[in-house]
């Protein structure tokens, strides 16, 4: 690791990796990941990437319309247009970089249908598209001499310095290392771990959003959360794996605790309605039946077809002693995706000079109030490329005064953070802001979260991953609850 870089990229998911690949060899990039390089939401993505490649049966206007309808027209229409029109180019570029998308009988990219899309336009690699993307992009990134990659290296602090930033990193040894960078791209992913149950990977604690917030960046719509209706309902696991929409798309039926279909009672589209509608139907039915037991049933389909179409889901369920060709799959809604985040413009610029954000930590406005399936990998690709292009351009004219002298190491020692804060934060958010928000509980919950945050910040605790993540979860929870309280006040 050098002392100075042109660009620091925080995150090795789709946004971080693809962003890094845009820089020419004379731009020095430091790419960091707080855990292993492949531990991310990107690696978990199953369904695929939405984009218009078939200009005969599909067109941009339809993809735009589907995105706006899913987003309840609360999207940023300019950002949606950029996403939809530029997305196909990025998808073809990652195919050329080695992503092994499934092909149809004519050797063209196979396109499938997902809920909310009016056309077959999701390109995929079986049911593990995200892993295929991350693996291929990592191979490319490793070949680039201008990119230093550091795993198990956590950003705990980001300060403005003359014409750039000073970034505090916790190395795998636990020691600190401070480096300087002219530009920073946050590609640090979502916030799922602020919930008790989520489909998100363990890295999704909102660190990038918190550090950007601490720098004064505008954060928008952190309470716009997508709950996936059909996550596997394991008894204890916090991270719940997804039973993708495609399983319902292929005919699986959603049943209540009595083995009855019910989704049609709440919406004529039944269990194929958008995610928020189906999640809502499940919560209402849960109240009506006084039970949290729900199931997907695909047992009536040909077992070979089911195993071939959903190899990863089949294997994951088998590990939980559920053979989906014979048994009903227990499911329940859980946190899945963050539509809001660090507010950015069409070039992924945040409101802090030289700070960019891309992927799930950012708020481009493309998703509006509800993300259309398979639009998020697309967003990560399009806007991380745009961030890099903007940096490449402005670097030609931006001033680059020498960084002031700085200490390369900081003392991170202190008392260990007591157990319990993270559990309490998760319980509060799960109780107040899950599918149907509990507005009445929000003000008192916000007070408690504010207390927790100040105890964490001022307690003299050792700065390590546990501390940084707890601080992030408390910060994110406070921002969510402030939005919930504000919405309650506005509607009263
Ligand atoms: C189960 C599941 C299935 C999904 N399926 C699809 C799908 O089919 N199609 C689709 O479009 N979307 C899907 N999504 C959503 C999509 O995968 C994510 O929104 C997207 O991959 C996010 O990419 P990202 O690069 O922004 O973040 P991530 O891929 O989550 O990467 C975040 C990176 O930031 C790093 N990081 C975080 N904090 C720090 C720190 N403090 N210091 C250093 N590094 C840090 C992490 O280590 C990680 O490398 C799915 C999500 C899940 C959870």
- Asked whether the predicted pLDDT for residue 252 surpasses 80, the reply is yes
CA 205–ligand 1 middle distance (angstroms): 11
For the chain, the 3-state helix, strand and coil shares in percent, each to the nearest 5, are 40, 20, 40
pLDDT recorded at residue 249: 78
DSSP 322: -
Residue 93 annotated in active site: no
Answer with the residue of higher pLDDT: 213 or 437: 213
d(CA 466, CA 318) in angstroms, rounded, equals: 32
Which residues does residue 178 pair with via DSSP β-bridges, in sequence order? 168
Contact 138, 13 (CB under 8 A): no
For residue 20, what are its two tokens? 């890094």
Q: Which residues of 443-471 are buried (b: 16+ CB within 10 A; e: fewer)?
A: eebbeebeebbeebeeeebebbbebbbbb
Other residues' Cβ atoms within 10 Å of the Cβ of residue 441:
15
- For atom 35 of ligand 1, the residue with the nearest CA is 11
pLDDT recorded at residue 490: 64
Q: Calculate the alpha carbon distances from 235 to 238, 331, 374, 479 in Å.
A: 9, 11, 28, 29
The angle subtended at Cα 59 by Cα 53 and Cα 64, nearest 5°, is 105
Please compute the mean of the pLDDT values over residues 258-287 and round it to a whole number: 92
Tens digit of pLDDT for each residue in 372-403? 989 999 999 999 999 999 999 999 999 999 99
Atom of ligand 1 lying closest to residue 377 CA: 11
H, E, C per residue of 109-141: ECEECCCCCCCCCEECCCCCHHHHHHHHHHHHH
Which residues does residue 261 pair with via DSSP β-bridges, in sequence order? 255
Tens digit of pLDDT for each residue in 185-226? 999 999 999 999 999 999 999 999 999 999 999 999 999 999
The angle subtended at Cα 39 by Cα 364 and Cα 198, nearest 5°, is 65
Other residues' Cβ atoms within 10 Å of the Cβ of residue 210:
26
The angle subtended at Cα 482 by Cα 11 and Cα 425, nearest 5°, is 60
- Nearest to residue 360, comparing CAs of 16, 5, 85, 6? 16
Residue 442: which H helix or E strand, with range?
Answer: helix 442-458
- Nearest to residue 127, comparing CAs of 280, 273, 249, 255? 249
Please compute the mean of the pLDDT values over residues 49-60 and round it to a whole number: 94
pLDDT recorded at residue 245: 82
Tens digit of pLDDT for each residue in 454-482? 999 999 999 999 999 999 999 999 999 99
pLDDT recorded at residue 126: 85
Contact 367, 379 (CB under 8 A): yes
Q: Which of 9, 10, 11 to mutate to test the pocket of ligand 1 (most atoms within 8 A of CB)?
A: 11
- Asked whether the predicted pLDDT for residue 417 surpasses 80, the reply is yes
d(CA 78, CA 130) in angstroms, rounded, equals: 26
Q: Which residues line ligand 1 (CB under 6 A)?
A: 10-16, 32-35, 40-42, 44-49, 129-130, 154-155, 187-189, 199-200, 203, 207-208, 242, 337, 359-360, 374-377, 380
CA 259–ligand 1 middle distance (angstroms): 35
Tens digit of pLDDT for each residue in 65-83? 999 999 999 999 999 999 9
Contact 255, 281 (CB under 8 A): no
Please provide the average confidence, as pLDDT, over all residues in the chain. 94
Fold of 229-334: Flavocytochrome C3; Chain A, domain 1 (3.90.700)
pLDDT recorded at residue 36: 97
- The number of helix segments (H) and strand segments (E) in the chain equals 14, 17
- Asked whether the predicted pLDDT for residue 489 surpasses 80, the reply is no
Tens digit of pLDDT for each residue in 80-129? 999 999 999 999 999 999 999 999 999 999 998 887 888 999 999 988 89
Q: Calculate the alpha carbon distances from 489 to 282, 301, 440 in Å.
A: 27, 50, 11
pLDDT recorded at residue 432: 94
Active site residue: 28, 240, 248, 275, which one?
A: 275
Q: Calculate the alpha carbon distances from 345 to 143, 244, 429 in Å.
A: 31, 31, 29
- Nearest to residue 90, comparing CAs of 21, 155, 152? 21
d(CA 482, CA 484) in angstroms, rounded, equals: 5
pLDDT recorded at residue 491: 57
Q: Which of 42, 116, 187, 316 to mutate to test the pocket of ligand 1 (most atoms within 8 A of CB)?
A: 42
Domain ranges of the chain: 4-224+339-394, 229-334, 421-491
What ranges make up the beta strands (E) of 173-312?
A: 176-186, 219-220, 225-232, 253-255, 294-297
Atom of ligand 1 lying closest to residue 154 CA: 42
Contact 19, 384 (CB under 8 A): yes
For residue 115, what are its two tokens? 């809920």
CA 386–ligand 1 middle distance (angstroms): 18
- For atom 21 of ligand 1, the residue with the nearest CA is 42
CATH dotted code for 421-491: 1.20.58
CA torsion 271→121→130→299, rounded to 10°? 40
Q: Which of 134, 189, 387 to mutate to test the pocket of ligand 1 (most atoms within 8 A of CB)?
A: 189
Beta strand pairing call for 294-297 and 253-255: antiparallel
Instruction: Report residue 135 CA to chain centroid gap.
Output: 18
Is domain 4-224+339-394 in CATH 3.40.1620.10, yes or no? no
């Amino acid at each position: 690791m050098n002392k100075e870089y042109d660009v620091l990229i925080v995150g090795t998911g789709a946004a971080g990796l693809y962003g890094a690949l845009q820089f020419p060899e004379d731009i020095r990039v430091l790419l960091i990941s707080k855990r292993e390089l492949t531990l991310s939401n990107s690696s978990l993505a199953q369904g695929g990437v939405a984009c218009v490649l078939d200009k005969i049966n599909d067109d941009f206007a339809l993809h735009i319309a589907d995105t706006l309808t899913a987003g309840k027209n609360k999207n940023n229409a300019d950002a949606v247009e950029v996403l939809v029109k530029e997305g196909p180019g990025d998808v073809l570029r990652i195919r050329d970089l080695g992503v092994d998308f499934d092909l149809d009988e004519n050797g063209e990219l196979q396109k499938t249908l997902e809920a909310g899309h009016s056309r077959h336009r999701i390109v995929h690699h079986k049911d593990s598209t995200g892993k295929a993307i991350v693996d291929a992009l990592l191979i490319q990134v490793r070949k680039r001499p201008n990119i230093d990659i550091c795993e198990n290296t956590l950003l705990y602090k980001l300060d403005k310095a003359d014409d750039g930033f000073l970034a505090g990193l916790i190395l795998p040894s636990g020691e600190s290392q401070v480096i300087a960078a002219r530009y920073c791209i946050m590609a640090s992913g979502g916030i799922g771990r602020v919930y008790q149950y989520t489909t998100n990977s363990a890295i999704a604690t909102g660190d990038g959003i918190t550090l950007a917030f601490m720098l004064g960046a505008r954060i928008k719509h952190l309470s716009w959360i997508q709950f996936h209706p059909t996550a596997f309902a394991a008894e204890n696991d916090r991270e719940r794996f997804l039973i993708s929409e495609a399983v319902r798309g292929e005919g699986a039926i959603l049943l209540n605790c009595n083995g009855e279909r019910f989704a049609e009672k709440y919406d004529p589209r039944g269990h194929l309605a958008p995610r928020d509608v189906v999640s809502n139907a499940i919560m209402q039915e849960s109240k009506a039946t006084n039970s949290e037991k729900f199931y997907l049933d695909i047992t009536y389909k040909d077992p070979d077809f089911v195993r071939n179409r959903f190899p990863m889901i089949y294997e994951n369920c088998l590990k939980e002693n559920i053979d989906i060709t014979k048994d009903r799959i227990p499911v329940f809604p859980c946190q899945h995706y963050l539509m809001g985040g660090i507010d950015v413009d069409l070039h992924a610029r945040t409101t802090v000079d030289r700070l960019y954000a891309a992927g799930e930590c950012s708020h481009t406005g493309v998703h509006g109030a509800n993300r259309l399936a398979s639009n998020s990998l697309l967003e990560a690709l399009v806007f991380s490329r745009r961030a890099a292009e903007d940096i490449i351009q402005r670097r030609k004219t931006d001033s680059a005064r020498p960084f002031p002298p700085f200490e390369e190491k900081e003392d991170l020692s202190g008392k260990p953070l007591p157990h319990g804060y993270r559990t309490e934060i998760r319980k509060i958010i799960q109780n107040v802001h899950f599918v149907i928000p509990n507005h009445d509980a929000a003000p008192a919950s916000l007070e408690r979260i504010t207390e927790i945050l100040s105890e964490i910040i001022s307690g003299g605790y050792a700065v390590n991953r546990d501390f940084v993540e707890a601080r992030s979860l408390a910060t994110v929870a406070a921002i969510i609850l402030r939005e919930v309280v504000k919405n309650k006040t506005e509607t009263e």
